[in-house]
Structure 1
Amino acid sequence: MTTTRAAVLWDEPGTFNRYVDECCGICCEHLNQHLIAAPFYRGRYVSLIIPTGFANQAYSRLLPGLRAASERIERFVENGGRLLVFGAADERPGAYDWLPFGVEYHFEFGQRRLAVADGAERYIQLLDGYDLDAVETDGFFPAHEGEVIAATPEGQAVIIRKTVGKGEIVVTSTHEYPSAKFMGTFCTAERETLF
């Protein structure tokens, strides 16, 4: 028996929440920067999702909450949770310093041609239905401690992943909604994990 459940971390519920809930058919809860940092909050999810622009103060105030909850996020993933993080959409360094592994991000909008790493079929489903010769992105990861899933022919990593304990983290700078097929797989597991 499996369960499908996700939480979208953002200041207020928005179109991404509706996409996950209505288009992907995934039971989706909204979490904001106050809840994730509150020690009394307890929720159970298969995956946590952080949309594009989380570090850009013009769009979101989520980054301080992510930093305050970094140990909690790491524990969630170590215990079997899954984390999907999109582009920071900000030039300042350190936007991913709350993750349990090193990730540097270069902010730069553009279409990029992507090559998929061998054995990465499960993760490249993120872009199912998109033209891999012209994927909208908001940057790339010039340095990281993860495994490259997709990169440009020049070697600019656009999708990376990392196993942490029993769970995993996928970080992507793709500036498109993830496919419903990928979301269905990524947000489904045999059990939920306590956050």
Structure 2
Amino acid sequence: MSCRAGFVWETPQHFVRYIEECGVPCELVTPYMLAAPFFRGSFTCLIIPTGFANPAYCRLLPALRASSDRIRRFVENGGNLLVFGAVMDKTDAYDWLPFPVTYRHEFVPRNVTCGDSALAQALVADYDPAHIECDGTFPAHGGTTAGDSSGAPLIIEKKVGKGTVIVTSIHEYPSRAFVKEFCDQGTQTLF
């Protein structure tokens, strides 16, 4: 079975083309489609880009909240979910995820240390880990983490049912190898 990504945003973005250049077919999923009970996309991975909670960039957060049960079922059934930074200090910006996450917005370059996490290592493989732009940290969360040299959590990894959720404040595209691997590892699941 082939992999297929859903990119959740209001309008087409360069990120979609980047995903496709990684060898993964990608479909734009608008907030209206996401929240519509009749929408039935089939994906191995959903990607929520940076800025999803900031109304200056988009109106995605209400649709994510309205779809929280569908998102949870998607991951439990084997779909993978990649979520980037909220880019806004909102304590409840991630309340639609199937586990607790608190975010603190702070845009600075960081020295990323991935430890033993193969997914975290793959995520940043195209960059110098000593100097990666990040838009915040996760002071409270319900997963395992990779962080910066001071221990601040920057990447959260959590297995939920048969799927995996990655939440990251890395403010760069994920590596090409990560995109392909993360989408390939998911099970094509009806959303």
**Alignment TM class, shorter chain as reference:** over 0.9
1:182 aligns with 2:181: no
Candidates 9, 23, 26, aligned match of 2:24: 26
Q: Secondary structure at the match of 2:16?
A: helix
Count of residue pairs brought into register by the alignment: 191
Deviation at 1:129, TM superposition (A): 1.8
Does the 8 Å contact 2:8/2:30 carry over to 1? yes
- Provide the identity percentage: 51
Candidates 32, 37, 40, aligned match of 2:38: 40
Candidates 73, 77, 80, aligned match of 1:79: 77
Closer/same/farther in 2, CA of residues 189 and 3 from structure 1, 3 Å limit: farther
C-alpha separation between the residues in 2 aligned to 1:160 and 1:93?
A: 16
Candidates 136, 139, 160, aligned match of 2:136: 139
* 1:108 matched residue in structure 2: 106
Q: RMSD between aligned alpha carbons?
A: 1.1
Q: What does 1:138-177 align with in structure 2 at a 5 Å threshold? A: 138-148=135-145, 150-177=146-173
Q: Secondary structure at the match of 1:109?
A: strand
C-alpha separation between the residues in 2 aligned to 1:33 and 1:177?
A: 21
* 1:66 matched residue in structure 2: 64
List alignment gaps of at least 5 residues for structure 2. Answer: none
Does the 8 Å contact 1:46/1:188 carry over to 2? yes
Deviation at 1:190, TM superposition (A): 7.2
Q: Secondary structure at the match of 2:102?
A: strand
Taking structure 2 as the reference length, the TM-score comes to 0.97
* Misfit runs of 4+, over 6 Å: none
C-alpha separation between the residues in 1 aligned to 2:140 and 2:86?
A: 15
Taking structure 1 as the reference length, the TM-score comes to 0.95
